Amino acid sequence: MQKKKGKWGAKKTTPVEDPKVKDSKKDLKKELRASCEKDGTYLTMKKVEVVGTGSLILNRIIGDGTLCGKPGGFPRGGVTEIFGDESTGKSTLALLGVKEALDAGECAVWADFEHTLRLQRTYIENLGINFNSPNFFGIIPMDFESGAEKIGKAMVAYHPAIIVIDSVTAMIPQAGEDSEDPSKMVQIGKHAKLTSQFLNWITKRLDKYNTALVLLNQTRIDIKISSMPGRHGGPKEISSGGQAPKFFTTVRIQLKQGEKETVSGKSSLTGLDEKKASNQVVKAICVKNKFDIAYKTGPIYFATGKDVDNIMSLVYLGENLGVFKKGGGGYYSWKDPNNDKVFFNIQGKVALVKYLEANPGVLEAAMPYLIPSTSAEAMMERKRELEAINEKELSKEDKNELTSLREKLKDKIIDDESVEVEVDSKLEIAEVSEDGQSDLDELKSITSGEEE
């Protein structure tokens, strides 16, 4: 006996939508998109520009946004936070970013909340930075509110390539500065709230002015968590400014002290034997990266009184990656895997650095194995070399490499043609538009506490 189909077995029919309703939805979509495109709130994807950090290793750690492990820099339109231990080169890396912008003829803004930049005149001159350049705009705010307003005005007026805030910890609210009661001078809650409001305001406008914001921050020990009974593993380190920098930043770089080199000798003042710090290797860790691949690490070598020593940094990187083989007696050697040619067998890192400085061709040959090349011309040259060889004689690895090169060059994944930048020594102040003035009015309402 055949069972009757119940209501669950009945054939479902889709309701026919009224053509007028369908057309009205289309018109609404068009109207909404046109409205968003008119006021600039419609999402458009474009290639993000970067400001170089002056360190080849740090450029590699941050990336260029292609997720291919290629060198980049501080992303424009985003916030980069550099935090870590004392004397790990935070200010130096920010200064080198400023130097890159000034050398390209663009404007740079430095907000010195710590009031220490003027004390580093000799060091800044050693870095090759001309702070008397009209393209440099430096401010020394006394409190959070006045500093935030001046940063906003500088961004709207000058459209700088990079803005550096040194540091988040020193951005003390005005209420704390004016207070005579020592217990009220440091207002952690007020500081965190203002930091959150300021970052919320500026992150929405960095892309409009094509600016990279760099925050320098310090680490603190969380006493409450560290003193909890039964807690093990040592004190917990946190960065100041509350939770806002962690959420608003695009890239977070943590610097940790590594190997330090010391020089022994007699003091010119006392005549006694003493040890002086000469150079140091800092470990850089990308703990957050929305721009490229996160959690990349690398060594950055700082020469005392100078800037980043990129060649020594590459030597440390080559040793860590196993590109430069370290044998007995501290001898370093490198053999090109393509032709099995041994380029050097030198004792000691310092001697190896001097050799690479005197033989830039050797360093150029080793660079593709240390840092991926971003040059389209180099890729074209390698493609021609492989295509010149008979396909039957190519190994499997060479065939795969040739296929990959053809795909990348065909799809134009790499597009970094060198463009000569005409350096303009005049700092042009752009006229503040109505849109820019509304931005400043909103910032003023935040810093004056009108939104509370």
Q: Tokens for 425?
A: 């020594």
Query: How distant, in Å, are the alpha carbons of 13, 122, 279, 414 from that of 267?
Result: 94, 22, 18, 54
CA-wise closest residue to 134 among 163, 96, 167, 160: 160
Look up the pTM and report it: 0.78
Positive or negative CA dihedral for 33, 35, 39, 41?
Answer: negative
Q: Which residues, at least 6 apart from 248, have a Cβ–Cβ distance to it below 8 Å?
A: 79, 196, 199, 200, 203
pLDDT at 183: 54
Could you tell me if 275 and 264 are in contact, meaning their C-beta atoms sit under 8 angstroms apart? yes
pLDDT at 113: 94
pLDDT at 283: 92
Could you tell me if 213 and 79 are in contact, meaning their C-beta atoms sit under 8 angstroms apart? yes
Give the span between the Cα atoms of 413 and 409, in whole angstroms: 7
Query: How distant, in Å, are the alpha carbons of 350, 355, 377 from that of 361?
Result: 18, 11, 17
pLDDT at 418: 37
What are the average pLDDT values for consecutive 10-residue runs of the chain, which has 452 residues?
A: 56 67 80 86 86 92 85 94 90 94 94 92 88 90 93 93 93 71 64 91 93 92 59 65 89 89 70 75 93 90 84 90 87 82 86 90 84 59 75 76 70 39 48 78 80 54
